[in-house]
Structure 1
C-alpha cells in the first residue's frame, strides 16, 4: 500500500492537493477572488486597491511573474483634423507677424527699389535691386557723393505704361509692394548721386571739364561711366537752402538737375522728397555690393552734410 498515492483528509482540510506526480500543492495562498461587489471576497478581504491590481495586472500562477496590461490613454488619441487646424493657425500667425515686421521695416528703416534705366551705369545697371536706408537723411547726415532715391520733383520722368498683370495679379503685387516684400518699380522715383548740398556753388565751365564744387574741381573717375564727359553741359548754380543738386553717373544718358531748369524747383531736389540713401545692391547676387560714400568730395569746403 503506497500512502503517498492519495491525499489524506487532513491534507485536504489544510487546503492542500496533490498533482499527478503526487507532489503536494498549497492552494491556500491563492489571491483573493472578488465578487461583483467591490470589497466582498469569498476568502479573505478585497480592497479597492486589490480590485485595481486585479484589473491592471494578471498573475501567472506557474512563474509568479506579473504582466501589466496597459489601457490606451484618451490623451494619446489626437484628431487629425485638430492637428491640421493647429498647424494652419500657427502658419497664419507666423505670416501675419512677418508681414507686420516687413511693413515696419519698409516704413521706418529700409526699402527695396528696382533700377529701371541706365542713368547710373556702371555703378547701377538696369534691372538691379537696391536697398535704400530711410535713416538718411534723418538720424544720419546726407553727404556729397551719396546715391539717393527721391520722388519726382515734377515732370522729370516721362509717362510710363503700367505693367499688365490682370486684376488679381495687380492686387497681389500692390499688396506685396506695400508691405515691402516686392521692390518699388521706380515709376515715381529717381536715383541719382548728390553733387551739391545747400549753399554749394556748383560750376561746369565746359562739357569735358570736371565739376567744380566751391572752387574745387572734383575727380569723379572712380564711379563715372568710362568715356562720358563729367559735365556734359555748361552750368553755374548755387544750391538753395533745403535743396540738392544731383547728377547721374552715366552723364551722357541721365536726365538730372542739369536738364530741368524750367521744372518745379528749378532742377533742384527738395530734401523732403528724398526717400533715402542707397546702401547696397542686393540683386542679382553676383553684383551684390556695398554703396558707400566716396572720398572724392573730402577736400570740398562748406557744409559737410545735411539731415
Structure 2
C-alpha cells in the first residue's frame, strides 16, 4: 500500500483525539497532527491557504479556523446599554465640574470685549433727537480712534465730570477696574458718559448765529446728515466765536435747542476722554440702523480745518 505524504512509518496512521470547546471530541489523522507539530504532509501542503474548498474537504487550516471561531462564539457579548445610567451620571458630573470654568472664561471674554473693543450704551435723553431717540441702545467701537484721528460729524461717547473734564484712564488695569465697577452700577463720583456729535475740530473757531453753526466763518451744511438733520430754532441763544484748543473737540447734540454740550456745561472735550464712536443702533429692532459719518466735503465744506499757512495765503493780498 502506498504511503501518503512524507511519512515512511510502516505503522498504521495513529488517530488522536483533541477536544475543542463546544465541539465535543474531534478525530484528527496523524497527517493532520503532523502539521500541528511543524511536519507538513502532502495533503496539508496541498491545502495550505485554501479555506473554502468545493465539496467541504477538511484541512488543518480549516480545523484551526473552526476552533478559533468556536472560541470567539463562546465568549459573552457586551450588553447593550447595561451601563447607560452610570455613563449619563458620569457625563453630568463632568459637565457640572467644568461649568464654573466655562462661566469664568465667558465672563473674562465679555469683560475684555467690553473694556477694549465694543460696549453698548443706553440713550436716556432727547439731546440727539432725531438721530437717536430715548430708549435707543447703540454699540460703541472703542478701537475707532486707536488707529486714526476723530472726524467731524462722528457720534461719540465721552466721559465728563460735573464742572470739568474727567481724568482719563489710560492704564489697562484702570480701564478694567472701571469696566468692572460700572458693570455693578458703581461709577466714580460725578463722572458721567455723554453722547454727542463732533462739530468743531482742534484749532477751529466755532460760532452760532440765528441757529446756524459757523466754522471759521463758513456755515456748517445742515443737510449733511442723512438721518434727519439737526433740530434748531432761529431764536436760539447765539454762541461764540470761540476757538477750539489743540487736542480737543467741540461737541453738540443734534437737538440743539435741548442739548447740554460744549456751548455751555461741557466745554470742549479732550481726545483722551473719548470712549469711542457710536456706529450702530442695536435696539429696538425697528430702529436697527448704522450711524454713518456725514460727508461734509460733498457739500463743499472742508472736513478738516485749513492750515494756518493756507488761511494766510487765502486771506492775503
Change (3 A) 1:285 1:31: farther
CA distance in structure 2 between the partners assigned to 1:301 and 1:34 by the alignment = 96
What are the ranges of 5 or more consecutive residues in structure 1 without an aligned counterpart? 1-27, 36-40, 59-67, 158-173, 180-186
Q: TM-score, normalised by structure 2?
A: 0.61
CA distance in structure 2 between the partners assigned to 1:146 and 1:115 by the alignment = 16
The answer to whether 1:57 aligns with 2:61 is no
Equivalenced residue count is 233
CA distance in structure 1 between the partners assigned to 2:119 and 2:279 by the alignment = 10
CA distance in structure 1 between the partners assigned to 2:181 and 2:106 by the alignment = 12
The answer to whether 1:194 aligns with 2:198 is yes
SS at match of 1:252: helix
Q: TM-score, normalised by structure 1?
A: 0.63
The answer to whether 1:132 aligns with 2:135 is no
CA distance in structure 1 between the partners assigned to 2:262 and 2:72 by the alignment = 90
Offset, 1:290: 0.7
Counterpart for residue 32 of structure 1: 19
CA distance in structure 1 between the partners assigned to 2:87 and 2:95 by the alignment = 13
RMSD across aligned positions (CA): 4.0
The answer to whether 1:220 aligns with 2:222 is yes
Counterpart for residue 84 of structure 1: 92
Counterpart for residue 108 of structure 1: 116
Asked if structure 2 preserves the Cα contact closer than 8 Å seen for 1:119 and 1:249, the reply is yes
Change (3 A) 1:71 1:194: closer
User: Deviation per CA, 1:118-168, whole angstroms, max 9, x where unpaired?
Assistant: 1000100111110111123221221111111000143389xxxxxxxxxxx
CA distance in structure 1 between the partners assigned to 2:142 and 2:235 by the alignment = 29
Higher RCO (CA-CA < 8 Å; seq separation 6+): 1
Counterpart for residue 290 of structure 1: 290
Asked if structure 2 preserves the Cα contact closer than 8 Å seen for 1:156 and 1:255, the reply is no
The answer to whether 1:207 aligns with 2:210 is yes
CA distance in structure 1 between the partners assigned to 2:206 and 2:230 by the alignment = 22
How is 1:235-274 mapped onto 2 (pairs within 5 angstroms)? Answer: 235=239, 236-260=241-265, 267-274=267-274
SS at match of 2:110: helix
SS at match of 1:124: coil
Asked if structure 2 preserves the Cα contact closer than 8 Å seen for 1:103 and 1:178, the reply is no
Offset, 1:110: 1.1
Counterpart for residue 70 of structure 1: 77
Offset, 1:231: 8.7
Offset, 1:207: 3.0
- More displaced stretch, 242-251 vs 211-220: 211-220
Offset, 1:268: 1.0
Change (3 A) 1:100 1:131: same
Counterpart for residue 106 of structure 2: 98
